[in-house]
Amino acid sequence: MTTHDLIGHFPVDQDHLRRLHNRLERDAQASDLLDIAYRTVDSGLGPLLVAATPQGLLRVAFASEGHDLVLQNLSERISPRMLEAPTRLDPIARQLDEYFTGHRHSFDVELDWSLSHGFRRTVLGHLATDIAYGDTASYATLARLSGSPRAVRAVGTACATNPIPIVVPCHRVIRSDGTVGSYRGGPTAKRALLDLERDR
Amino acid sequence: MKVDQHVKLPFEAVVARHGATVLRVVRAVVGHADADDAWSDTFLAALKAYPQLPADANTEAWLVTIAHRKAIDITRAASRRAVPVADTPDSPARERADAHDLDLDAAVGALPPKQRQAVAYHYLAGLPYSEIAALLDSSVAAARRAAADGIATLRRTYPRIDNPRNHHDHA
């Protein structure tokens, strides 16, 4: 009698495990134990990972960042109580769909800023409110808006480390010479978002 | 994902890795009817306690420990409700559409609790007898004997146990 023999007599059906997982999502949410819920959303820029706490949207990640690495990082920085639980992300998934089809120009979801602190948080806050759909601003302009006109380099860092790209529109910040500059999802993704918004 | 036993994984990965094993264990220990409740209670309690689990702990053994306690709670509640045990098989080799074997359920369910637990924890979860002894509050020798007696009984009451099945998943 080996371990494997008896295991073979207890088959487990993947649909059954999925149903149990759904129940765990509901129970965890009801018991206030679901610190981070996440799912992936298909988009014009490939699959996006979206993660939210009960406070709001915490993270949007491009496939190029490595979704498993992003999840591991959230687990260590925020909480390991994480489940793939789509329900909490339904509103942002719907709004991202609308955004990528050109039908939505601003996002209406609560944001959780836990991953941004200090000046970076200030910069991203201005970014979220001051630069409209279809517009662009230079890093220098955003530095001025953020109250530190000489902190252009720090503004660049804040944009490059934006934990909630697309929704917090760091893609609208470009170089003074008009080139797009760096982007968490890569310069091609940044260009694609700017083109999408120009076609409004 | 990088497999490093000293990095604490997101809880989702714990469910993905150990969900099937825990389901087998609770199915053997509390029976098919209560297995879903036992699984759910186990993973909800595990989610709650997970932040305190040391990163180098044996996650599966920890889950089996929780499942063991939850199964005891469920068995106690069930005996208070005085629900009769699963129906006895009337023909050999009955199987339901979901491929769980009613004869096996009945045979495992008929084992004394300690034998059932020792068999499940050793043969389904791969726990060493030292850890099973701690769970059952017995000596290592007694845990080993309980598993051996349980398997010996199953060979009598469920002879197909020595025929490998080939349509189980490998989750």
Q: Which CATH architecture has domain A3-100?
A: 2-Layer Sandwich (3.30)
- Chain B residues with CB under 8 Å of A26 CB are none
Residue B65's pLDDT is 97
Residue A5: predicted pLDDT: 81
Q: What is the pLDDT of residues B20-50, one digit of tens each?
A: 999 999 999 999 999 999 999 999 999 999 9
Any idea which fold A118-198 has? Answer: Arc Repressor Mutant, subunit A (1.10.10)
pLDDT at B134: 95
Inspect the interface and report whether the beta carbons of A12 and B20 lie closer than 8 Å: yes
In the predicted model, is pLDDT for residue A85 greater than 90? yes
For testing the chain B interface, which of A3, A7, A9, A78 should be mutated: the one with the most B CBs within 10 Å? A9
Q: Residue B159's pLDDT is what? A: 86
Contact between A24 and B167 using a beta-carbon 8 Å cutoff: no
3-state secondary structure chain A: CCHHHHHHCCCCCHHHHHHHHHHHHHHHHHCCCCCEEEEEECCCCCCEEEEEECCEEEEEEEHHHCHHHHHHHHHHHCCCCEEECHHHHHHHHHHHHHHHCCCCCCCCCCECCCCCCHHHHHHHHHHHHHCCCCCCEEHHHHHHHCCCCCCHHHHHHHHHCCCCCCCCCHHHEECCCCCCCCCCCCHHHHHHHHHHHHCC
Q: What contacts B136, CB < 8 A, 6 or more positions away?
A: B114, B117, B118, B142, B143, B146
Asked if B20 is an interface residue toward chain A (Cβ–Cβ < 8 A), one would say: yes
In chain A, where does the domain assigned CATH 1.10.10.10 lie? 118-198
A131-165 pLDDT, tens digit per residue, is 999 999 999 999 999 999 999 999 999 999 999 99
> How confident is the model over A10-60, as pLDDT tens digits?
999 999 999 999 999 999 999 999 999 999 999 999 999 999 999 999 999
Distance from CA of A168 to the nearest CA of B (A): 25
> Is the pLDDT at B93 greater than 60, yes or no?
no
- Domain with residues B11-88+101-160, CATH architecture: Up-down Bundle (1.20)
What mean pLDDT comes out for the span B67-77? Answer: 92
Residue A159 bears catalytic tag = no
Contact B44 A9 (CB under 8 A): no
Q: A36-41 and A48-53: which strand pairing?
A: antiparallel
Helices A14-30, B32-49: inter-axial angle, 10-degree rounding: 50
Least confident of A33-37, A186-190, B138-142: A186-190
Cβ separation A12–B24 shorter than 8 A: yes
Catalytic residue among A36, A170, A173, A174: A170
Distance CA B73, CA B68 (A): 9
Using a CB-CB distance cutoff of 8 angstroms, which residues of chain B are in contact with residue A16?
23, 98
Task: Give chain A positions within 8 Å (CB) of B27.
Answer: 10
Please provide the average confidence, as pLDDT, over all residues in chain A: 93
Q: What is the pLDDT of residues A55-81, one digit of tens each?
A: 999 999 999 999 999 999 999 999 999
CATH 3.30.160 intervals, chain A: 3-100
Q: Taking CB atoms and an 8 Å cutoff, what residues of chain A touch B19?
A: 17, 20-21
Residue B79 has pLDDT above 80, yes or no: no
Confidence of residue B83 (pLDDT cuts 50, 70, 90): low
* Ranges A22-26, B139-143, B158-162: which has the least confidence: B158-162
Which residue of B6, B12, B48, B59 to mutate against A (max A Cβ within 10 Å)? B12
Comparing alpha-carbon positions, the chain B residue that sits nearest to A29 is: B44
B162 Cβ under 8 Å from any chain A Cβ? yes
Handedness of CA B131, B134, B135, B139 (dihedral sign): positive
Q: Is the pLDDT higher at A178 or at B167?
A: A178
What mean pLDDT value characterizes chain B?
85
Which chain A residues are closer than 8 Å to B122 by Cβ?
A: 3
Q: Give chain A positions within 8 Å (CB) of B15.
A: 21, 24, 83
- The rounded distance, in Å, linking the Cα atoms of A193 and B170 is 42
Q: Which of B5, B25, B47 to mutate to test the interface with A (most CBs of A within 10 A)?
A: B47
B94 touches chain A (CB under 8 A): no
Cα three-residue angle A162-B7-A52, rounded to 5 degrees: 35
